[in-house]
Amino acid sequence: MQQAFHIFRKDARRFAYQIGALAALTCMWAWSNIAAGRAGSADRYAGIAAAVLSIGWWYLICLLVHEESFTGDRQFWITRPYSRRSLLAAKSLFVLAFVNVPLLLAGFAILAAAGYRPLAYLPNFLWMQIAFTATVLLVPAALAALTRTLVQFVLSIVGLYASVILLAVVGGHVQRGYQSQGLAWAGGIFLMLMVTAPALIVFVLQLRMRNRLISAGVAIALVVLMLYTNEGAGRRFGVAVQSRLFGQSGGASVEVMLDATGIRPDAKQLEPDGVTLGVPLRVINIPAAETAAPEIVDLTFETPAGQRWSSGWIPAASNDPGIVQVDPSPDGAFLWRQRVVVDRAFWRHAASGPLAVRGEVYLMLFGRRSMRMQQDGMTRVPGDGWCSCSVSLPNPGAWLVECFAPFHRPFSQNETVQEATATGVAHSPVRLLSIWDSPLPADFGMDPISRNSPTPAVREAEIFFLRYDPRAFIHRSF
């Protein structure tokens, strides 16, 4: 351990100017986020400060790793009695002391300026720091371990981001009228593991073997293996966690019905690999003052001849536009037309004859709390957040609404419905919908305060904040 402290002190002296510059950037980032909470126009400066600070972290990590290079066989540290354990401990302590701790203190300042007690949120801060280290700091450390110069490091980052953008373009998704986000948090966990595990393996292998070809090859193989073997792992993990957290109590009356006569192809959303169908499903007997949100669905089609096709577990998604399951319907039911892409060859043989259709669905039952927001003032809202309502300066005929909450989004979406009447257009109340979507202590990010603002509302409209808290996670067959 004495050797690790010796390396740590040597690095601290070596990079004293860079450490001071990063401390100043961290203070500027904290100040810009505090100012953003008081004036919405400062939001863009907070984004710029976060980008500059991230670049500063990567630059310092690159210098830190290159100081005792992990590539080749002529490094200074190999010729001296430096143990790998001491070197790893010293570099980790450096990042903890000059990146994580300043960011944590800045988060404390931002949270305190918003009127909260930072020490009451230590678990949330701990999770945020773990996620931040895994997704933001490990990747540049691994790339620095594979490179020898700053130019190589920058080129590797550019290549990595180009690959991510290409994959995002190739894997583009279709916009849908209703799309469940209930298990998206579990997918985020596995995405973080997909980033963290290869980066950690590269760093460790380079530290031990100093062979870039082997380290990069193992990391690429691991990424490919995780991409092709974790099919459904996020779903299974999310289902297991939510089933354990909430159980099925309170949802015994809920049923799911299938309208088989309403199944038809959807000509508006064509798929090259199959036939897009809309399958009408209906959740009934939803308890009073609660609402249901379908999360994942499994559909199976079978012909009398025994031919079978299954969708596997897919997100609950509707072909019909404008479906938002937020309030119980008057009859305690919710109808959506499940979007499913059926194999074209199977449908060619099965479409003209009888079909047996069966399936399963997981749903979350939510209880609802509603409160009317104070106009031209601050209102405390569920979820430990606040919303302010003030006259919009560019448009005095509209309300400007801004909300913030610690570690989670204040609300998920907002609704404004205009109805035509005999005398003109009537504006229904604006509803800010805060829908629970994650058991994690904090959303991914650096800032402990999350902010969002809906579209300015007309002065005649009332504004309500609706909070949906999970009551039960139920499994039904139909």
On whether both 153 and 296 belong to a single domain, the answer is: no
Q: Count the domains in the chain.
A: 3
On whether both 36 and 92 belong to a single domain, the answer is: yes
On whether both 316 and 378 belong to a single domain, the answer is: no
**For residue range 351-365, what is the model confidence (pLDDT) as tens digits?**
788 889 999 999 998
On whether both 331 and 396 belong to a single domain, the answer is: no
pLDDT score for 175? 45
What token pair was written down for 30?
A: 């904290």
**Tokens 């919405």 sit on residue:** 40
Nearest partner of 60 among 12, 120, 105, judged by Cα: 12
Q: Does residue 158 form part of some domain?
A: yes
pLDDT score for 323? 54
On whether both 353 and 391 belong to a single domain, the answer is: no
Which residue, 341, 362, 383, sits at the end of a domain?
A: 362
**For residue range 125-145, what is the model confidence (pLDDT) as tens digits?**
999 999 999 888 998 998 888
Task: Decide if pLDDT at 157 tops 90.
Answer: no
Q: Helix, strand or coil for residue 387?
A: strand
On whether both 355 and 390 belong to a single domain, the answer is: no
On whether both 326 and 388 belong to a single domain, the answer is: no
pLDDT score for 38? 61
In whole angstroms, how large is the CA radius of gyration of the chain?
27
What DSSP string runs through 69-112? -SSSS--HHHHTT--HHHHHHHHHHHHIIIIIHHHHHHHHHHHH
Residue scoring higher pLDDT (455 or 9): 9
On whether both 438 and 340 belong to a single domain, the answer is: no
Q: Are 176 and 324 in contact (CB under 8 A)?
A: no
Cα 208 to Cα 198: distance, rounded to the nearest angstrom: 15
pLDDT score for 173? 46
**For residue range 22-42, what is the model confidence (pLDDT) as tens digits?**
999 999 999 988 887 665 555
Task: Decide if pLDDT at 180 tops 80.
Answer: no
pLDDT score for 79? 67
Q: Please give the average per-residue pLDDT across 232-248, as a whole number.
A: 86
Q: Any idea which of 47-61, 171-185, 300-314 has the lowest mean pLDDT?
A: 171-185
The neighbour count for residue 161, using CB atoms within 10 Å, is 10
Neighbouring residues of 442: CB distance < 8 A, sequence distance ≥ 6: 124, 125, 127, 128, 131, 407, 408, 448
Residue scoring higher pLDDT (105 or 373): 105
Cα 300 to Cα 342: distance, rounded to the nearest angstrom: 10
Which residue, 313, 336, 362, sits at the end of a domain?
A: 362
Which residue, 362, 391, 413, sits at the end of a domain?
A: 362
User: Which letter, b or e, does each residue of 62-74 get, where b requires 16 or more Cβ atoms within 10 Å of its Cβ?
Assistant: bbbbbbbbbbeee
Q: Which domain, by its residues, includes 460?
A: 370-477
Q: Does residue 224 form part of some domain?
A: no
Q: Does residue 137 form part of some domain?
A: no
Task: Decide if pLDDT at 393 tops 80.
Answer: no
Q: Any idea which of 74-83, 141-150, 201-210, 346-355 has the lowest mean pLDDT?
A: 74-83
Q: Does residue 141 form part of some domain?
A: no
Q: Does residue 415 form part of some domain?
A: yes
Q: Does residue 197 form part of some domain?
A: no
Q: Does residue 434 form part of some domain?
A: yes
Whole-number mean pLDDT of the chain? 83
